[in-house]
Amino acid sequence: MKTYICLLWVVFVCIGWEMHASVDVHPTFITTSDGLANNSVRYLFQDSKGFIWMGTLDGLSRYDGHSFVTFRPESGDKISLANHHVKKIQEDRNGFLWFITAPELMSCYDLKHDCFVDFTGCGEYRRPYNKILETAGGDIWLWHHQSGCRKIVCKDGIHSSVSFTKENGKLLTNAVNSFMRMNRE
């Protein structure tokens, strides 16, 4: 029996030894000379289409593996990236990317139409929010410790929203610090 176990052990060691493979890693450094918005990348995210998004201190870069597209805030009334300092990126189930920027502003990017959109549906996209939650039903909740909160619904690619603030009588205070998910049974 000991001989059988020893032989079995030798076979497993030999098979394991042969199955061990080495992987050569060759890193590539990407900088502003390659098209990156800024060399200080603060957040990396890969979207459902495979693009790599890089939030930097001076804009947002989208990388397809070969070249960059850079997004920065635009002047005027055009909907664009809210601020050049991107802190967080996430994608919702409807194919929209959400960006939180340094001065606690949100931006929403439509991957299907390749453009920034008014996520409120009513022109109030410049209100400060710095937290985001997607519910099981696909609704988006944004909140801030001084601005109350906002529920955003996306139907057929069109956003609509409801604001909850002290000013509109839907909250006792605008100090919303957190949300809690609760399961209804």
pLDDT (tens digit per residue) in 86-145: 999 999 999 999 999 988 999 999 999 999 999 999 999 999 999 999 999 999 999 998
Alpha-carbon distances, residue 64 vs 54, 67, 71 (angstroms): 11, 6, 14
Per-residue tokens: 99: 């960006």
Query: Is 90 inside any structural domain?
Result: yes
Contact partners, residue 157, CB within 8 Å, separation at least 6: 94, 110, 112, 113
Whether residue 12 is contained in a domain is answered as no
In a domain, 17, yes or no: no
Q: What is the dihedral of CA 137, 142, 148, 151, to 10 degrees?
A: -30
What is the Cα–Cα distance from 154 to 91, expressed in whole angstroms? 13
Q: Residue 9 above 80 pLDDT? A: no
Q: What three-state secondary structure class fits 13?
A: helix
Is the pLDDT assigned to residue 2 strictly greater than 80? no
The reported pTM is 0.82
Read off the pLDDT of residues 20-68 as tens digits, 9 standing for 90 and up: 557 788 888 899 999 999 999 999 999 999 999 999 999 999 999 999 9
Residue 174 lies in a domain: no
Is the pLDDT at 4 greater than 70? The verdict is: no
Per-residue pLDDT of 135-157, as tens digits, reads 999 999 999 989 999 999 999 98
Q: Is residue 131 part of a domain?
A: yes
Residue 143 falls inside a structural domain = yes
On whether residue 11 sits in a domain, the answer given is: no
pLDDT at 25: 83
Domain hosting residue 70, numbered range: 35-164
Query: Region 151-175: what's the mean pLDDT?
Result: 93
Q: Are 66 and 111 in contact (CB under 8 A)?
A: no
User: Cα separation of 132 and 151, whole Å?
Assistant: 10
In a domain, 116, yes or no: yes
Total domains, the chain: 1
CATH number of the domain that residue 137 is part of: 2.130.10.10
